[in-house]
Copies of this chain bind each other. A is one copy, B any other.
Amino acid sequence: MSERVVIALDAMGGDRAPDMVVAGAALARERMPHVQFLMCGDEDSLRPLLAKQPALAAVTTIRHTKELIGSNDKPSTAIKSGRNSSMRLAIDAVFEGEASCVVSAGNTGALMAIAKYVLKTLPGIDRPAIATFFPTLRGECCMLDLGANVQCDANNLVQFAVMGEVFARTVLGFEQPTIGLLNIGVEDLKGNEEVREAAAILRDSDLPIAFKGFVEGDDIGAGTVDVVVTDGFTGNVALKTAEGTINFYTKMLKQAFASSWISRLGYLLSRGAINNLRNKMDPRRYNGAMLLGLNGIVVKSHGGTDAVGFANAIGVAADMVVHGFQDKIRDDFERLKGMDEPDRSAAVV
Q: Which residues of A contact B (CB under 8 A)?
A: 72, 74, 135-137, 147, 150-151, 182, 184, 187, 189, 191-192, 216-222, 230, 232-234, 236-249, 251-253, 255-257, 259-260, 262-263, 265-274, 276-277, 280-281
Contact between B217 and A243, CB atoms less than 8 A apart? yes
Contact between A233 and B269, CB atoms less than 8 A apart? no
Q: Which residue of B191, B233, B268 contacts A184 across the interface (Cβ within 8 Å)? A: B233
Contact between A182 and B237, CB atoms less than 8 A apart? yes
Q: A184-B150, A218-B240, A244-B222 are in contact. Are A277 and B252 (CB under 8 A)?
A: yes
Contact between A273 and B248, CB atoms less than 8 A apart? no
Q: Which residue of B137, B241, B248, B280 contacts A241 across the interface (Cβ within 8 Å)? A: B241
Shortest Cβ distance from A240 into B: residue: B217
Q: A187-B72, A240-B217 are in contact. Are A263 and B272 (CB under 8 A)?
A: yes
CA A263 to CA B216, docked complex, whole Å: 34
Give the distance to chain B from A238, nearest Cβ to Cβ, in Å: 5
CA A72 to CA B186, docked complex, whole Å: 11
Contact between B191 and A217, CB atoms less than 8 A apart? no
Contact between A256 and B243, CB atoms less than 8 A apart? no
User: What B residues does A273 contact at CB under 8 A?
Assistant: 256-257, 259-260, 263, 266
Give the distance to chain B from A34, nearest Cβ to Cβ, in Å: 34
Contact between A222 and B237, CB atoms less than 8 A apart? no
Q: Which residue of B151, B249, B267 contacts A249 across the interface (Cβ within 8 Å)? A: B249
Contact between B221 and A245, CB atoms less than 8 A apart? yes
